[in-house]
């Protein structure tokens, strides 16, 4: 089983909608929060100053499939793993587990592809750039991803 | 070319994030708003009282690919069409067009599968149900979807 | 010094805006989350089933004064106390403390008046009702509010 | 009667909560959107590039009193006027009118004090600055505010 990073939280009132369940758009905010916490855990950041401006991870593509609702007050976990790393992108997999008294129920499952970019000072330009080796290595080490997979990032498409 | 429903709006300040662009989760809110306006245009609703409780359209699965950022004040259009109707679900396709002085740029493209459900009065149970014929017909008529496709909804998997 | 309930959290990326700081509307969500956690701590809820429908605490009036920005990744505390309890309302006071390496900075200070209501089953009617004694007593006990203040709730205006 | 700027919109699904009404935090987003549209109407902006960086209008203080709920699909207007202009701040007044078939109901009423700031390029520093005369004059002209009130902005406290 691949290693996972687990982000636990509880549904807040403002995250629900008229149907009495968490609005689906918030699952993407939960996924981002899980990724953010994971990067912080590694001493990295989803958005930080670099030598030449700011480095960030905007989304390239995301998806989510919903299987059971989350409701106000529900506790749940986002289980984050890496589905793929290319030279310039990381695709995370997030599985949502709703915690109940005596079991857990899978509530949703999604993917999120983050693109490594440099944002120049004015904030007007986002430029896709190679994921620095120090970042790549730390993420691969955490998830015990074999280095063969990432031996020649420049030749990958990302 | 399939017929489209066009929902136009402008990026609001609170929809942006630290990177200076619309937070990606908001694209799903825009998609939902486009669908909502489309249903209203047809005299239908994304959430309404029925004889036996409430009828709604929670999401089964959504995805979005981002190709150009939207920024504060940008005007854009969501072009909504129907990719598929089954007995119990509708899959919408939404293409985002950023409006510029002399051209438009595709900003994103997504899909959203809505499931027709009945919500019983307490709000605790969502039950998937067949899309009523009157709703199905109105949507198919708008998009000029051939009736052969929907001749026997009961036999579809949805 | 009045007793406080402390809710600690960290700024998430989606909570920031184009100006690089937490969007001010989110301070009200933080205040609500603090209140929610506080009620949960007491075994109560901001929204729960009752014998006759649902009982909730919509807002009557809120305000917030902002003195220092919160930024992505900042850790902060919401210090919640009760400014006033009347027969049908509770006014909470929330002070935001930004946690820094060697000090804390007050980021904002707000108030929020919650009205005790019954929501009938269809969700269409909200009816203001007296705060039940068991709820009132638990809150007053937590904050060590003297019982003289709440001896005759029926005569208070709230 | 003071002149008003009217911003009309309709409640979107994601803006509602579990209680079946618009989450109160969204009223502040509506107020900001009204202000934004108003400034755009005057050829100004709530956030724009200046010669020396970026100029924005973060909030100093906001408040809102809620008198009738807004629900999914409700059409409403935000009536924006200026309660006060000082050298560095503008306090807007916003009254929410829910539009019904045969009448309008006041849903809420709020105030929002915007502070004129310069944001230096890194986004790390916000500096309060005088409202430029061209901006002040345009706003005062729109609301037919007498120029005596603003004769000596430098002497005002703001």
Beta carbons of D29 and B14 less than 8 Å apart: yes
Beta carbons of D36 and B13 less than 8 Å apart: yes
Confidence grade of residue A54 (pLDDT, cut at 50, 70, 90): confident
Q: How many CB atoms lie within 10 A of CB C58?
A: 21
> In chain A, what residues touch B14 (CB-CB under 8 Å)?
none
> In chain C, what residues touch A46 (CB-CB under 8 Å)?
13
Mean pLDDT to the nearest integer, B68-97? 97
Which range (A99-103, C4-8, C118-122, D10-14) has the least confidence? Answer: C118-122
- Work out the minimum CA distance from A24 to partner chain D, whole angstroms: 9
Q: And the tokens for D103?
A: 């009448």
- Report yes or no: A30 and A6 within 8 Å, Cβ to Cβ: no
Is any Cβ of chain D less than 8 angstroms from the Cβ of C53? no
* pLDDT at residue B158 greater than cutoff 50: no
- How far CA C93 is from CA of B30, C26, C112, C132, in Å, comes to 35, 16, 7, 21
Of residues A95, A93, A57, A50, the one with CA closest to residue A76: A95
Beta carbons of B12 and D47 less than 8 Å apart: no
Instruction: Provide the pLDDT for residue C122.
Output: 65
ipTM of this complex prediction, to 2 decimal places: 0.91
Instruction: Provide the pLDDT for residue A49.
Output: 83
* pLDDT at residue A156 greater than cutoff 60: no
Is any Cβ of chain A less than 8 angstroms from the Cβ of D13? yes
For residues C149 and C146, give the distance between their C-alpha atoms in angstroms, rounded to a whole number: 6
Is any Cβ of chain C less than 8 angstroms from the Cβ of D124? yes
Instruction: Provide the pLDDT for residue C124.
Output: 73
Of residues D4, D41, D32, D55, the one with CA closest to residue D138: D41
* pLDDT at residue C154 greater than cutoff 70: no
pLDDT digits (tens, 9 = 90+) for D122-146: 667 889 999 999 999 999 999 998 7
Instruction: Provide the pLDDT for residue C2.
Output: 66
Q: Which helix (H) or strand (E) holds B103?
A: none
- Kindly tell me the burial class for residue B133, based on how many C-beta atoms sit within 10 Å of its own C-beta (0-12, 13-18, 19 or more): exposed
pLDDT digits (tens, 9 = 90+) for A61-98: 999 999 999 999 999 999 999 999 999 999 999 999 99
> In chain C, what residues touch B29 (CB-CB under 8 Å)?
none
Q: And the tokens for D150?
A: 């603003």
- Work out the minimum CA distance from C19 to partner chain D, whole angstroms: 7
Query: Chains with 3 or more CB pairs closer than 8 angstroms to A?
Result: B, C, D
Instruction: Provide the pLDDT for residue B2.
Output: 66
Mean pLDDT to the nearest integer, B137-147? 88
- Report yes or no: D108 and D64 within 8 Å, Cβ to Cβ: yes
For residues C69 and A38, give the distance between their C-alpha atoms in angstroms, rounded to a whole number: 24
User: DSSP 3-state assignment of C15?
Assistant: helix
Is any Cβ of chain B less than 8 angstroms from the Cβ of D26? no
pLDDT digits (tens, 9 = 90+) for D15-54: 999 999 999 999 999 999 999 999 999 999 988 887 777 8
Instruction: Provide the pLDDT for residue B125.
Output: 81
- Report yes or no: A77 and A6 within 8 Å, Cβ to Cβ: yes
Confidence grade of residue D153 (pLDDT, cut at 50, 70, 90): very low
> In chain C, what residues touch B71 (CB-CB under 8 Å)?
18
Which range (A103-112, A146-155, D106-115, D135-144) has the least confidence? Answer: A146-155
Percent of chain D at pLDDT > 90 equals 77
pLDDT digits (tens, 9 = 90+) for B19-45: 999 999 999 999 999 999 999 999 999
| C75-87 CB burial, b ≥16 within 10 A, e <16 | ebbbbbbbeebbb
Q: How many CB atoms lie within 10 A of CB B6?
A: 12
Mean pLDDT to the nearest integer, D136-158? 68
Mean pLDDT to the nearest integer, A29-46? 96
For residues B156 and C158, give the distance between their C-alpha atoms in angstroms, rounded to a whole number: 56
Mean pLDDT to the nearest integer, A35-56? 90
Instruction: Provide the pLDDT for residue D123.
Output: 65
Instruction: Provide the pLDDT for residue A153.
Output: 47
Mean pLDDT to the nearest integer, A46-62? 88
Of residues A64, A79, A73, A74, the one with CA closest to residue A99: A74
Nearest CA in chain C to A32: C13
For residues D137 and A131, give the distance between their C-alpha atoms in angstroms, rounded to a whole number: 49
For residues A93 and A83, give the distance between their C-alpha atoms in angstroms, rounded to a whole number: 6
- Report yes or no: B66 and B24 within 8 Å, Cβ to Cβ: yes
pLDDT digits (tens, 9 = 90+) for C77-117: 999 999 999 999 999 999 999 999 999 999 999 999 999 99
Beta carbons of D73 and B29 less than 8 Å apart: no
Of residues A113, A36, D71, A24, the one with CA closest to residue B18: A36
Confidence grade of residue B123 (pLDDT, cut at 50, 70, 90): low
Which range (A51-60, B10-19, B48-57, B92-101) has the least confidence? Answer: B48-57
Q: How many CB atoms lie within 10 A of CB C36?
A: 23
> Which of C20, C122, C123 has the CB atom closest to B18's CB atom?
C20
More confident residue, D154 or D111: D111
Q: What is the dihedral of CA A10, A16, A19, A20, to 10 degrees?
A: 40
- Work out the minimum CA distance from C29 to partner chain A, whole angstroms: 7
Percent of chain C at pLDDT > 90 equals 77
Confidence grade of residue C51 (pLDDT, cut at 50, 70, 90): confident
For residues C142 and C125, give the distance between their C-alpha atoms in angstroms, rounded to a whole number: 31
Confidence grade of residue C5 (pLDDT, cut at 50, 70, 90): very high
β-sheet bridge partners, residue B63:
A63, B111
- How far CA A63 is from CA of A38, B65, B111, in Å, comes to 19, 9, 9
Instruction: Provide the pLDDT for residue A122.
Output: 65
Mean pLDDT of the residues in chain A: 90
For residues A27 and A20, give the distance between their C-alpha atoms in angstroms, rounded to a whole number: 15
For residues C123 and C131, give the distance between their C-alpha atoms in angstroms, rounded to a whole number: 20
- Work out the minimum CA distance from B99 to partner chain A, whole angstroms: 17
Is any Cβ of chain B less than 8 angstroms from the Cβ of C25? yes
> In chain A, what residues touch B89 (CB-CB under 8 Å)?
none
User: Which alpha helices (H) appear in chain D, and where do they start and end?
Assistant: 25-41, 133-143
Selecting among B17, B74, B102, B149, the annotated active-site residue is B17
Sequence-separated (6 or more) residues with CB below 8 Å from residue B141 = none
Tokens 């906001």 identify what position? D62
- Kindly tell me the burial class for residue B109, based on how many C-beta atoms sit within 10 Å of its own C-beta (0-12, 13-18, 19 or more): middle
Q: And the tokens for B55?
A: 């009828």
Instruction: Provide the pLDDT for residue B151.
Output: 45
Q: And the tokens for A98?
A: 């709703």
- Report yes or no: A115 and A128 within 8 Å, Cβ to Cβ: yes
> In chain B, what residues touch A69 (CB-CB under 8 Å)?
58, 126
> Which of A18, A71, A123 has the CB atom closest to D72's CB atom?
A18
What is the secondary structure of A29-56 as a DSSP string?
Answer: HHHHHHHHHHHHHTT--SEEEETTEEEE
- Report yes or no: A109 and A61 within 8 Å, Cβ to Cβ: no
> In chain C, what residues touch A13 (CB-CB under 8 Å)?
32-33, 36, 46-47
- Report yes or no: A26 and A15 within 8 Å, Cβ to Cβ: yes
* pLDDT at residue D75 greater than cutoff 70: yes
- Work out the minimum CA distance from B152 to partner chain D, whole angstroms: 31
- Report yes or no: B87 and B45 within 8 Å, Cβ to Cβ: no
Q: How many CB atoms lie within 10 A of CB B14?
A: 23
Q: What are the φ and ψ backbone dihedral angles of A26, each rounded to 5 degrees? A: -70, -20
Selecting among D17, D74, D102, D149, the annotated active-site residue is D17
Percent of chain D at pLDDT > 70 equals 89
Beta carbons of B49 and C122 less than 8 Å apart: yes
For residues D81 and D92, give the distance between their C-alpha atoms in angstroms, rounded to a whole number: 6
User: Which alpha helices (H) appear in C13-127, and where do they start and end?
Assistant: 25-41
Beta carbons of B33 and D12 less than 8 Å apart: yes
- Report yes or no: C113 and C103 within 8 Å, Cβ to Cβ: no
For residues C91 and C89, give the distance between their C-alpha atoms in angstroms, rounded to a whole number: 7
* Total residues found in chain B within this entry: 158
Is any Cβ of chain A less than 8 angstroms from the Cβ of D81? no
Instruction: Provide the pLDDT for residue A1.
Output: 55
């Amino acid at each position: 089983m691949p290693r996972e990073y687990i982000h636990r939280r509880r549904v807040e009132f403002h995250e629900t909608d008229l149907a009495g369940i968490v609005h689906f758009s918030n699952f993407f905010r939960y996924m981002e929060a899980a990724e953010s916490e994971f990067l912080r855990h590694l001493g990295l950041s989803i958005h930080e100053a670099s030598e030449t401006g700011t480095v960030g991870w905007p989304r390239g593509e995301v998806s989510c499939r919903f299987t059971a609702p989350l409701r106000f007050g529900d506790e749940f976990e986002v289980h984050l793993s890496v589905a793929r790393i290319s030279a310039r992108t990381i695709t995370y997999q997030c599985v949502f587990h709703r915690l109940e008294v005596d079991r857990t129920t899978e509530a949703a499952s999604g993917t999120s592809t983050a693109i490594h970019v440099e944002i120049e000072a004015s904030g007007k330009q986002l430029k896709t750039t190679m994921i620095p080796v120090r970042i790549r290595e730390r993420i691969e080490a955490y998830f015990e991803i074999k280095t063969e997979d990432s031996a020649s990032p420049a030749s990958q498409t990302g």
